[in-house]
Amino acid sequence: MKTLKNIVAIALISVSMVACKSETTPEVKTVETSSEINTNAAKKLDPNATYAKAEFGIEGMTCAMGCAKSIEKKIAKMDGVKSAKVDFDKELAMVEYDEAMVTPTTLEEAVAKAGDTYKVKDMKTVTSFSSEKYECKGEGKACCANKTEKEKMACAEDCKKDCCAGKA
């Protein structure tokens, strides 16, 4: 009986030693990816076309990488869209598009197709994007360093400072 107990004990110890690995090496998996660059959008852009800029808010985004980037990619893939940028922090989309191929309505539809929770608000056609207008330039960055966004946008019409130079 004692011999049987010893054999069972040795078997259990052997099984536990074999089952528990002391080395933890990560499992490496190779995933095939496509490295092709979609050049169809570049081919479909007409250099003689009239491009408009639209700026609009997007409600319903919950994250920068998932929501904002997926909306940005969806809009950027549209025929006639020259550029698309979605700023998650400001809940703002800025799109430059060919007026003959894209309308504000189609932009709104593209955002809706990206997800049911996304809603477009305050769409307007602009001459330059708001991020371009109030950007501090060159050495003049110090003039805007301690100002709030509201103060930066409230430059006087005759202001000659660098921080107001880009104001349209």
Number of domains in the chain: 2
Q: How far is CA 105 from CA 57, 63, 80, 123, in A?
A: 14, 24, 14, 10
What is the pLDDT, as a whole number, of residue 131? 62
Looking at the fold, whether 127 and 139 belong to one and the same domain comes out as no
Looking at the fold, whether 63 and 138 belong to one and the same domain comes out as no
Mean residue pLDDT of the chain comes to 74
Q: What is the CATH number of the domain that holds 97?
A: 3.30.70.100
pLDDT, tens only, 75-125: 999 888 898 999 888 888 999 988 888 888 899 888 888 888 888 888 888
Which residue range forms the structural domain that includes residue 60? Answer: 45-131
Query: 129, 137, 125: which is closest to 165 by C-alpha?
Result: 137
What is the pLDDT, as a whole number, of residue 141? 47
Looking at the fold, whether 95 and 138 belong to one and the same domain comes out as no
Select the highest-mean-pLDDT range: 9-18, 37-46, 113-122: 113-122
Looking at the fold, whether 127 and 141 belong to one and the same domain comes out as no
In a domain, 101, yes or no: yes
Query: 104, 131, 136: which is closest to 120 by C-alpha?
Result: 104
DSSP code per residue over the chain = -HHHHHHHHHHHHHHHHHHS-S---PPP-----------HHHHH--TTSPEEEEEEEEE----IIIIIHHHHHHHHTSTTEEEEEEETTTTEEEEEEETTT--HHHHHHHHHHH-TT-EEEEEEEESS-HHHHT---GGGHHHHTT--HHHHHT--TT--SHHHHT--
Looking at the fold, whether 109 and 124 belong to one and the same domain comes out as yes
Top pLDDT among 19 and 156 is at: 19
What is the pLDDT, as a whole number, of residue 6? 92
Q: Whole-structure pTM over 0.85, yes or no?
A: no
Mean pLDDT of 8-19: 80
Q: How confident is the model at residue 143 (pLDDT cuts 50, 70, 90)?
A: low
Looking at the fold, whether 87 and 149 belong to one and the same domain comes out as no
Looking at the fold, whether 158 and 119 belong to one and the same domain comes out as no
The tokens for 38 are 């979609």
Reply yes or no on whether the pLDDT at 7 is more than 90. Answer: yes
Looking at the fold, whether 85 and 152 belong to one and the same domain comes out as no
